Amino acid sequence: MSTFIDQPAPQNEIGRWHALRLFLHSVEDVRRLLQPENLAIRLNLLDELDVIIGDVDLGALKTCEEPEIVARVRTLICQLETVNELLYGVARAEISLQGNSPLMHRWLIELADEGDAEGPRPGLGFDLLDEIVSGVLQLRGPQESRLLPSPEMVFYQPTPVRHILDLIAACNFCPGDIFVDLGSGLGHVPLLVSILKGVRTLGVEIQSDHAVAAQDCARSLNLSGVRFVADDAQLANISTGTVFYLFSPFTGSILKNVLNRLHRESKDRQIKVCSLGPTTRTLQSQAWLTAKRQSNVEQIALFQSQ
């Protein structure tokens, strides 16, 4: 591994060139780095280079005082990214052919096992797991942010992958389960639940451009068991769902209405409700729900209807 992990970004041009020289000196065996099994090392190196380079455009530095350094850095970035993209393509092909990817599953499990043995790191920061999933799914979201239909709705932020893996482990899915993400955004959670566990999933997202982008991704991966609808969670048909997820997508009266709907659904069948973020506090106060694990707004909480 490189020696630059967790070091602050250089504060000036002299510091940047010095850091780049040290970085290139530390990367001695490029052939080893390009071996397929060293994905995590390559991702770490690319992240470290991002920190060092900052907002500098390497393409505009051809006439700088140290062109050799620029050329070596650009070549290295190209080599690392090319190998990663080839591997992501293999994982996508696996998903398209069989609905899952043993290759991606191995990457995620190995990296997750390197984390805290007591559970995923709390909070909403992203890590290498998210870079891998982004590389494989290749979700392309809308270029412009639009105003939400209601001030009680929360702007979309993807659930960190480490929490999705924790959700999957906590839910203990059965073959007949149908997972419903209320406020699914660009679809990371339903897509991963389907790929990793093979259960049918539904994403409900009020912003139609987000729902369309998510469905396009599912279609490109040939995931027939994944469906996204552009609808209001207060009105959408959720009558087949058995496991529901809310990453605090709305507040106030909308959240109250959605929870009332889930309560009515629970009278027909037992359901599970997972949450991340402030919505967990509201779920804790619902008399019809029982917490199945310790509730924490910065980690996945799991509740079951009585």
Give residue-wise pLDDT tens across range 10-37. 656 777 788 888 899 888 789 999 999 9
pLDDT for position 4: 39
**Residue 56 reports pLDDT greater than 70:** no
Mean pLDDT, rounded, for 40-52: 93
Q: Where are the domains of the chain?
A: 13-97, 128-305
In order, the DSSP letters of 63-97 are TSS-HHHHHHHHHHHHHHHHHHHHHHHHHHHHHHH
Q: DSSP secondary-structure letter at 160?
A: P
**Residue 47, φ and ψ in degrees, nearest 5:** -65, -40
pLDDT for position 237: 97
Mean pLDDT, rounded, for 230-240: 97
Q: What is the pLDDT of residues 87-141, one digit of tens each?
A: 999 999 999 999 999 999 999 999 987 766 678 999 999 999 999 999 999 988 7
Dig out the tokens for 186 from the structure: 């660009």
Q: 178 near 201, Cβ under 8 Å?
A: yes
CA atoms within 13 A on the CB side of 294: 5
Output the pTM of the full model.
0.90
Q: Match 């290498």 to its residue by tokens.
A: 128
pLDDT for position 145: 61
Helix (H) / strand (E) containing 103: helix 102-113
Q: Which among 247, 252, 243, 254 is positioned nearest to 280, based on CA atoms?
A: 247
Q: 19 near 10, Cβ under 8 Å?
A: yes
**Residue 55 reports pLDDT greater than 80:** no
Question: Would you place residue 156 in the very low, low, confident or very high pLDDT band (cuts 50, 70, 90)?
Answer: confident
Q: Of 35-44, 71-80, 106-115, 242-251, give the lowest mean pLDDT range.
A: 106-115
What CATH number labels 128-305? 3.40.50.150
Q: Please measure the distance between the N-terminal and C-terminal CA atoms of the chain and give it in whole angstroms.
A: 50
Q: How large a percentage of the chain has pLDDT more than 90?
A: 72
Q: What is the pLDDT of residues 181-196, one digit of tens each?
A: 999 999 999 999 999 9
pLDDT for position 115: 64
Torsion from C-alpha of 190, 196, 199, 203, nearest 10 degrees: 0
pLDDT for position 99: 97
Query: What CA–CA distance (Å, rounded) separates 270 from 244?
Result: 11
